[in-house]
Amino acid sequence: MTTENKTARLAGLLYLIVVLTGLFSLMYVPSKLIVWEDPALTFQQISHSSQLFRLSIAGSMICYISFTLLPLVLYRLLKEVNGTYAKLMVILALISVPISFLNLQTKFSVLTIVEGAGYLKAFNSEQLQSHVMFLLNSYNKGILIVQIFWGLWLFPFGYLVYKSGFLPKILGIFLMLGCLGYILNVLGRTIIPDFSDYAISAYITLPASIGEIGTCLWLLIAGVKNRKQTN
């Protein structure tokens, strides 16, 4: 196996970790524990499944650590395609990491409340439940901010994939469309209060998912066979 193929498969592995831990912490666990219309039930479910909630925090940490390494490995693979775009890809990706870690503090605050810290006895159950829902909503708003950079880094990344000559051009197109989808999603949810009620909200980030999962699997399985130099 060539050095380039080893780099490609390392990138694919890191990408797979990002995808799996992201799905677990951002989709699976919330679907099991959070009922937005019922603060009391949400509080109860997080209290009874605090270990699952903790695992979602740990999953997010692993996700963000892997996402710190991923663009650096991709840079090694793609810098010869276009050095400027490769650097821009790394910068835009890494900007999201400290924001993501800071936002994760909100989930630790939720744990503090549901696990019953002594100094919280001054508050009644309804107040605690409402505060948990406020924190969870604040966490989601933080994720919305991070999504700006989750989207922006996909454009230079997609361009590099498209121009590489050793990765499928269609994946590059989906990645660049994914950038647009993320930005429109952030703007839509910021400007339109009931944006989630529109059917398009469920599909607007789909190109990004196709591009990222497709690229992840291609790097992991196929590597960079028959690499061509593209200027």
- What is the reported pLDDT for 157? 98
For the chain, the domain total comes to 1
pLDDT in tens, the chain (231 residues): 688 889 999 999 999 999 999 999 999 999 999 999 999 999 999 999 999 999 999 999 999 999 999 999 999 999 999 999 999 999 999 999 999 999 999 999 999 998 876 677 777 888 999 999 999 999 999 999 999 999 999 999 999 999 999 999 999 999 999 999 999 999 999 999 899 889 998 899 999 999 999 999 999 998 876 555 444
Question: Contact 191/156 with Cβ under 8 angstroms?
Answer: no
Residue 60 falls inside a structural domain? yes
CA-derived radius of gyration, the chain: 20
The pLDDT score that the predictor gives to residue 117 is: 67
Q: Is residue 124 part of a domain?
A: yes
Distance CA 151, CA 205 (A): 9
Given a contact cutoff of 8 angstroms between Cβ atoms, the answer to whether 162 and 179 are in contact is no
pLDDT of residue 230: 45
Query: Is residue 7 in a domain?
Result: yes
Domain annotation covers residue 230:
no
On whether the CB atoms of residues 11 and 223 are closer than 8 A, the answer is no
pLDDT for the residue 116: 75
CA–CA separation, 7 vs 219, rounded Å? 9
pLDDT at 225: 66
pLDDT given at position 196: 87
128-164 burial string, b = 16+ CB within 10 Å, else e? Answer: bbebbbebbeebbebbeebbbbbbbbbbbbbbbbbbb
201, exposed or middle or buried, with CB in 10 Å at 0-12, 13-18, 19+? middle
Q: What is the DSSP string of 160-196?
A: HHHHHSSS-HHHHHHHHHHHHHHHHHHHHHHH-TTGG
pLDDT for the residue 1: 62
Q: DSSP character for 147?
A: H
The residue segments making up the domain with residue 23 are 3-150+209-222
d(CA 155, CA 91): 12
pTM assigned to the model: 0.91
CB 46 within 8 A of CB 116: no
Distance CA 51, CA 103 (A): 20
Give domain status of residue 122, yes or no: yes
Structural domain includes residue 10: yes
Q: Classify residue 190: in a domain, yes or no.
A: no
pLDDT at site 121: 73
21 found inside a domain: yes
Distance CA 47, CA 203 (A): 32
